[in-house]
């Protein structure tokens, strides 16, 4: 089983509010791998909208993304696109 981990910085001005949170949850749910986010010691299931919102990830925050499973590389690549695009708000 493959495990990948990568850190992303939130670049959009409003941070990871409801719409970006929904984007990452929808993206994570397209894959079978487990996807976890961690910020400031709080680790959550990235397939849960409530979990993602509890991170309260504002602009400039660092979020560690961990994908583990058979399609971990594909999940990480898809999530990287979402984070790096600034959730389409840049």
> Active-site residue numbers?
17
**Distance between CA atoms of residues 56 and 63, nearest Å:** 10
**Distance between CA atoms of residues 82 and 44, nearest Å:** 18
85 Rama class: left (phi>0) / alpha (psi -120 to 50) / beta: alpha
Q: Are 69 and 1 in contact (CB under 8 A)?
A: yes
């Amino acid at each position: 089983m493959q495990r990948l981990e990568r850190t992303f910085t939130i670049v959009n001005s409003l941070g990871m509010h409801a719409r970006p949170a929904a984007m990452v949850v929808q993206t994570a749910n397209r894959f079978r791998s487990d996807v976890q986010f961690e910020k400031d010691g709080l680790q959550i299931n990235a397939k849960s909208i409530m979990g993602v919102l509890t991170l309260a990830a504002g602009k400039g925050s660092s979020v560690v993304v961990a994908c583990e499973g058979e399609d971990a590389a594909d999940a990480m690549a898809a999530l990287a696109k979402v984070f790096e695009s600034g959730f389409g708000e840049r």
